[in-house]
Chain A
Amino acid sequence: LAKTTQPISMDSYEGQEVNITCSHNNIATNDYITWYQQFPSQGPRFIIQGYKTKVTNEVASLFIPADRKSSTLSLPRVSLSDTAVYYCLVGISSGGYQKVTFGTGTKLQVIP
């Protein structure tokens, strides 16, 4: 199982771009990188998933270097409502989520 390491917490002011980096040195060839967001008292919610290079959707971008040993979730112009815990997951392949572990995530606090 690929182990991930991400910062425990981050603070950012409203309107700034936030980059959260996740390290996953032993990522396997078939592993995808997936990020989830969790608000207090709610279940996690999918943000973005990628395999290599760059993926962008309406809420975030995911940057993955060629060696795939790390990835960076980029949230443009954060607002107070982006205050949440962000989880980096590695290992989702055709087998489903049973081989994936949620770490403690990165607690992002957006400051007015």
Chain B
Amino acid sequence: NAGVTQTPKFQVLKTGQSMTLQCAQDMNHNSMYWYRQDPGMGLRLIYYSASEGTTDKGEVPNGYNVSRLNKREFSLRLESAAPSQTSVYFCASSERYKNTEAFFGQGTRLTVV
């Protein structure tokens, strides 16, 4: 069972560079999410996609864009990376119309220098 797969696991960027974090789930879930987690903090929602074809801003969307490529894949793009975006990024998925659990990926540790 793969669950939620994120790539890459680690990345170092220079300020101003761009990159895309990839996320794929194999559980046929409708909803997908991108979170960031800073040291000693809880997770903060960046963007989410309640269903294929829709995306919405979460708590901290500035500096990010997302694409729900299909039901399986939800990518997060940093157009011009900044040191403040140094964080661990988690992708998650869940069913939309059930009170159920969310499944998280293993995270991408991003450092912007």
- Residues of chain A whose beta carbon lies under 8 Å from any beta carbon of chain B: 32, 34, 41-46, 49, 51, 87, 92-98, 101-105
Contact = CB atoms under 8 A, between A and B. Distances in A.
Given A41-B109, A98-B31, A101-B45, 11 more contacts: A34-B101, A44-B90, A49-B99, A87-B42, A94-B98, A98-B45, A98-B58, A101-B59, A102-B44, A104-B41, A104-B42
A105 B48 CA distance: 22
17 contacts: A34-B101, A42-B106, A43-B4, A43-B105, A43-B106, A43-B107, A44-B102, A46-B102, A94-B97, A95-B50, A96-B48, A96-B50, A96-B94, A96-B96, A98-B45, A102-B44, A103-B42
Interface of B: 4, 31, 33, 35, 40-45, 48, 50, 56, 58-59, 90, 92, 94-107, 109
Given A104-B41, A105-B42, A97 B59 contact: no
Given A41-B107, A43-B106, A49-B101, A98 B41 contact: no
A93 B105 contact: no
